[in-house]
């Protein structure tokens, strides 16, 4: 397949290298020193004892790369404003565009089952509807990722847990389609697990439990994931988790997500710094809207009280605004 990874940083770089190694014609959209290093030396992925050097095509101008069979947008939601117009040279008439991101996606209300309550106003995730117009809603594919990575240096990505690379993909209306099966097949052949799902919003909310109730605790404390094991912060995370489960259920997504499994004593806590904390540390635009504020819009539209999440929201927003990394 001709596959473009738009935003080949940590997660995107990992997936691009694996897909290229598996024989796909892979191109990436990157910028700055990362782009220059990849052009000069290829894209390097460090995964356990493996070192993959992928000679991918790389540019900061999508027009250089041409129409693709599929596009994986691995930009964080805070970076989506660059896409309208710029992404269009990558698109054929039916090119699927999978949005690999954290939190509530901008397209959430598209294809939503009538059996579920309507989504709240999510226009801040796609101001003026620019993404929908530029890409075309018929091209949109949902995607949820579980894969811890970080950029070691320009052109070099470290996959922190080599046996934990998962990408769920699904249609916004959850239909089984040939393009979804083709994407899953390509991912699996590249060593990226892609489980079948008949409810992409279940996967969205399930991943959101980690981001909204755990990663935010890391942000407000300034500490890695192991902070969630400490008694006071563990209690905070569990209260946030209970509220988030209630919000998801009110919108028709009943999660099998035990607080003991997520925050219990048997959980293995690591030194990993979640992406929202990495962004704060490095002064990069933060995914406050999709990870924190959009989920609470769902709570308010359903009339669910979320005092713990409200407090977390106020701290996260204040921290991000103080550094100029988010504007409410």
| Domain of residue 23, residue span | 2-198
Distance between CA atoms of residues 232 and 257, nearest Å? 21
Nearest CA to 68 out of 102, 97, 30, 33 is that of 97
Residue 67 pLDDT greater than 90, yes or no: yes
Residue 270's pLDDT band, with cuts at 50, 70 and 90, is confident
232 with 182, same domain? no
Cβ contacts of residue 205 below 8 Å, gap of 6+? 248, 253, 255
Could you tell me what percent of the chain has a pLDDT over 90?
Answer: 92
Residue 30 pLDDT greater than 90, yes or no: yes
Residue 268 pLDDT greater than 70, yes or no: no
pLDDT for 269: 61
Domain end (from 198, 224, 243): 198
What CATH number has the domain bearing residue 40? 3.40.50.720
Q: What is the mean pLDDT of the chain?
A: 95
H/E stretch holding 141 reads strand 140-146
Q: Rounded to 5 degrees, what are φ and ψ at 67?
A: -60, 145
H/E stretch holding 127 reads none
pLDDT for 165: 93
Token digits of residue 308 = 């713990």
pLDDT for 272: 83
3-state secondary structure at position 177: coil
Residue carrying the six token digits 């912060």: 233
Distance between CA atoms of residues 35 and 30, nearest Å? 5
16 with 159, same domain? yes
Q: Is residue 327 part of a domain?
A: no
Domain end (from 166, 198, 230): 198
pLDDT tens digit string along 161-170?
A: 888 899 999 9
Q: Which residues are catalytic?
A: 207
Residue 212 pLDDT greater than 90, yes or no: yes
Q: Rounded to 5 degrees, what are φ and ψ at 143?
A: -150, 140
Parallel, antiparallel, or unpaired for β 43-47 and 50-54? antiparallel
223 with 194, same domain? no
Q: Rounded to 5 degrees, what are φ and ψ at 250?
A: -65, -20
Do you know the residue count of the chain? 328
Residue carrying the six token digits 């009280």: 305
Residue 52 pLDDT greater than 70, yes or no: yes
Residue 41 pLDDT greater than 80, yes or no: yes
Residue 203's pLDDT band, with cuts at 50, 70 and 90, is very high
Mean pLDDT within 238-248:
98
pLDDT tens digit string along 93-132?
A: 999 999 999 999 999 999 999 999 999 999 999 999 999 9
Number of domains forming the structure of the chain: 2
Parallel, antiparallel, or unpaired for β 166-170 and 140-146? antiparallel
183 with 317, same domain? no
3-state secondary structure at position 153: strand
pLDDT for 176: 96
Strand partners, 3: 26, 70
| C-alpha radius of gyration, the chain, whole number | 19
Mean pLDDT within 185-205:
97
pTM for the model: 0.94
Q: Is residue 54 part of a domain?
A: yes
194 with 70, same domain? yes
Token digits of residue 236 = 């905070």
What CATH number has the domain bearing residue 229? 1.10.1040.10
């Amino acid at each position: 397949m001709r596959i473009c990874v738009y935003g080949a940083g940590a997660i995107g770089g990992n997936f691009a290298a694996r897909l290229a190694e598996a024989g796909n014609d892979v191109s990436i959209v990157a910028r700055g020193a990362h782009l220059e290093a990849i052009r000069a030396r290829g894209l390097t992925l460090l995964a356990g004892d493996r070192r993959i050097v992928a000679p991918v095509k790389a540019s900061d101008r999508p027009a250089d790369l041409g129409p693709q069979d599929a596009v994986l947008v691995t930009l964080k939601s805070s970076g989506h404003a660059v896409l309208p117009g710029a992404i269009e040279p990558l698109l054929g008439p039916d090119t699927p565009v999978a949005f690999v991101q954290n939190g509530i996606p901008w397209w959430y209300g598209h294809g939503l089952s009538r059996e579920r309550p309507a989504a709240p106003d999510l226009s801040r995730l796609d101001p003026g509807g620019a993404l929908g117009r530029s890409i075309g809603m018929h091209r949109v594919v949902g995607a949820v990722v579980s894969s811890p990575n970080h950029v070691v240096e320009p052109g070099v990505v470290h996959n922190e847990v080599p046996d934990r690379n998962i990408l769920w993909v699904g249609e916004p209306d959850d239909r089984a389609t040939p393009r979804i099966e083709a994407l899953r097949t390509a991912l699996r052949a590249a060593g990226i697990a892609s489980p079948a799902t008949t409810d992409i919003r279940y996967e969205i909310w399930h991943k959101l439990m980690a981001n909204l109730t755990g990663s935010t605790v890391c942000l407000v404390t300034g500490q890695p994931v192991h902070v969630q094991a400490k008694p006071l912060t563990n209690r905070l995370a569990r209260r946030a988790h209970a509220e988030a489960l209630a919000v998801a259920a009110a919108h028709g997504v009943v999660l099998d997500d035990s607080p003991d499994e997520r925050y219990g004593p048997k959980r293995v806590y690591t030194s990993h710094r979640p992406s929202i904390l990495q962004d704060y540390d490095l002064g990069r635009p933060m995914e406050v809207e999709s990870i924190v504020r959009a989920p609470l819009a769902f709570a308010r539209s359903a009339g669910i009280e979320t005092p713990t999440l409200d407090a977390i929201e106020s701290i996260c927003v204040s921290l991000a605004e103080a550094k100029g990394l988010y504007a409410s």
